């Protein structure tokens, strides 16, 4: 896949936490993204991995490159299409990862496309904050996080769950994975919230099928760079962590403004 190719061919970067960073737009230093530039970038990515979709192309925060999101990865492609770098670009003065802002904008826009009717929502009457959480019903940390859902709501935080079976959607043999099948049953239950909480407590839902968003939400998670659960995103698209306590989550949300 693209990540393996890039790790083999390109430069890896450092990683800094973005939880407390402001989501101001990074200074635009790269060239404008013309239709010709878009075609060039897509061709460059295709030369690395033919089946990878490019989701976002923006001017990079440094001259001579475009900032690209593809297959859940961020990379930088030179304006002549000859070079690609995979990793983080750091502003050494502010100690900020300049890719965080682009990721946040992208995630916020993509998450906004998922209607509330396709999420499993636990919310107080008038929430101060709304978070999106990619979750797996059999994940230990996901179960521990859900134990705090009443406390989150008490703090004015609405929790909107999206499905992300860690086993994936199908096995290598092409059959649905057990967790995917269980999560479909949860999303197809008559009372989804009750079935969801029961599954988090280790009580499997009654088998059920229907038109459901589980596969689409899994694919969305991959697109947004999810590689484990729980994966929590704030209303501005920032990553807020995995398992967190109510106090930690509220503090992270307040820091985001």
Residues annotated as catalytic (active site), given as ranges: 136, 139, 142, 166
2-111: CATH topology: Nuclear Transport Factor 2; Chain: A, (3.10.450)
| 2-111 and 116-256 in the same fold | no
Model pTM?
Answer: 0.84
Q: What is the mean pLDDT of residues 198-214?
A: 96
What pLDDT shows up at residue 159?
A: 98
Q: What are phi and psi of 230, to 5 degrees?
A: -75, 150
What pLDDT shows up at residue 29?
A: 60
Q: What is the mean pLDDT of residues 188-200?
A: 97
Token pair of 2 as six digits: 């693209």
Pairwise CA distance, residues 42 & 47, whole Å: 9
- What is the chain's mean pLDDT, rounded? 88
Domain 116-256 part of CATH 3.40.30.10: yes
Domain layout of the chain by residue ranges: 2-111, 116-256
What pLDDT shows up at residue 87?
A: 84
Pairwise CA distance, residues 25 & 36, whole Å: 24
What pLDDT shows up at residue 128?
A: 96
Tens of pLDDT, residues 24-66:
344 456 678 889 999 999 999 988 888 889 999 999 988 999 9
């Amino acid at each position: 896949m693209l990540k393996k190719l890039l790790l083999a061919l390109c430069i890896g970067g450092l990683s800094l936490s973005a939880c407390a960073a402001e989501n101001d737009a990074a200074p635009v230093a790269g060239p404008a993204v013309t239709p010709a530039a878009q075609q060039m970038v897509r061709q460059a990515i295709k030369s690395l991995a033919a089946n990878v979709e490019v989701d976002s192309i923006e001017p990079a925060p440094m001259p001579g490159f475009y900032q690209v999101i593809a297959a859940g990865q961020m990379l930088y492609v030179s304006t002549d299409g000859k070079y690609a770098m995979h990793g983080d670009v750091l502003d050494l003065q502010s100690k900020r990862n300049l890719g965080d802002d682009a990721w946040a904008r992208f995630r916020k826009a993509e998450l906004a496309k998922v209607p509330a009717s396709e999420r499993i929502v636990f919310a107080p009457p008038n929430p101060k904050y709304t978070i999106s959480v990619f979750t797996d019903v059999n994940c230990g940390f996901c179960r521990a996080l859900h134990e705090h859902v009443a406390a989150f709501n008490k703090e004015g935080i609405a929790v909107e769950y999206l499905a992300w079976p860690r086993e994936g959607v199908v096995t290598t043999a092409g059959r649905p994975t057990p967790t995917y099948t269980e999560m479909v049953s949860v999303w197809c239950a008559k009372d989804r919230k009750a079935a969801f909480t029961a599954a988090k407590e280790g009580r499997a839902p009654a088998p059920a099928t229907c038109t459901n968003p589980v596969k689409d939400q899994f694919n969305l998670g991959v697109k947004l760079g999810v590689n484990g659960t729980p994966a929590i995103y704030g209303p501005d698209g920032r990553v807020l962590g995995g398992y967190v306590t109510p106090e930690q989550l509220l503090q992270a949300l307040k820091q985001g403004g």
